[in-house]
């Protein structure tokens, strides 16, 4: 399995949402390990997901790795056909602007800290803000939805549907290789 655009997008979304690497690995499935997720996260330069400042504590120098005698599991995977997942791409691409186009009811922002320039940044996130990410996390325009969330959800009504609809579909096409 490779890092398709769809899987990278899902990785970014789940990572931003705060899921752990192993949880994300479980969702991606197809034998993806948490190491794979962490490695990809670092390669995408989105390792610091919240505004925590990085203390850059240098670790002690690592012991030289033992020469690999046993074959590693990195070889070949049974290639799965990427079922109609490409149909989901237009949806995600459509979210790439400052604010999603169609929200059922334009409920007013109920923020504790109001964004100064109209964008809900990661600094404005709270229990009262929808945490659906909008745009590229590395971009200047990156922000969050910020509408009032559905109870018990990190997302507003609209984005909660977007977030969890695919999961419901997934129940009937359980994919396990072996």
Partner DNA sequence: CCCTGATTCGC
Partner DNA sequence: GCGAATCAGG
Kindly state the smallest distance separating residue 125's Cβ from DNA, in Å. 18
Q: How far, in whole angstroms, is CA 35 from its chain's centroid?
A: 16
Cβ proximity to DNA: between 113 and 136 the closer is 136
Kindly state the smallest distance separating residue 166's Cβ from DNA, in Å. 21
Examine residue 178 and tell whether it contacts DNA (CB under 7 A). Answer: no
Three-state DSSP state, 120 = strand
Q: Quote the crossing angle between the two packed helices 5-17 and 34-43, to the nearest 10°.
A: 90
Examine residue 82 and tell whether it contacts DNA (CB under 7 A). Answer: no
Q: How far apart are the C-alpha atoms of 4 and 54, rounded to whole Å? A: 29
Examine residue 170 and tell whether it contacts DNA (CB under 7 A). Answer: no
Which of 41, 120, 130, 143 touches DNA by CB under 7 A? Answer: 41
Examine residue 50 and tell whether it contacts DNA (CB under 7 A). Answer: no
The distance between the two most distant Cα atoms of the chain, rounded to a whole number of Å, is: 62
Q: How far apart are the C-alpha atoms of 92 and 121, rounded to whole Å? A: 19
Residues found near DNA in the complex (CB under 7 A): 1-3, 20-23, 32-36, 38-43, 47-48, 56-57, 59-60, 62-66, 68, 70, 72-74
């Amino acid at each position: 399995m490779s890092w398709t655009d769809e899987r990278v997008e899902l990785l970014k979304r789940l990572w931003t949402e705060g899921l752990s690497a192993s949880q994300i690995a479980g969702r991606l499935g197809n034998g993806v390990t948490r190491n794979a997720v962490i490695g990809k996260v670092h390669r995408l330069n989105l390792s610091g997901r919240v505004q925590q400042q990085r203390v850059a504590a240098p670790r002690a120098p690592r012991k030289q790795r033992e020469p690999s005698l046993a074959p590693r599991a990195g070889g070949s995977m049974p290639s799965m056909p990427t079922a109609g997942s490409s149909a989901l791409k237009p949806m995600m691409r459509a979210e790439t602007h400052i604010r999603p186009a169609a929200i059922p009811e334009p409920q007013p922002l109920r923020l504790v800290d109001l964004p100064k320039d109209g964008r809900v940044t990661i600094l404005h996130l709270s229990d009262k803000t929808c945490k659906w990410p909008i745009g590229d996390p590395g971009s200047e325009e990156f922000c969050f939805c910020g509408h009032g969330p559905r109870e018990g959800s990190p997302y507003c009504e609209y984005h909660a549907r977007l977030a969890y609809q695919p999961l419901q579909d997934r129940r009937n096409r359980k994919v396990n290789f072996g």
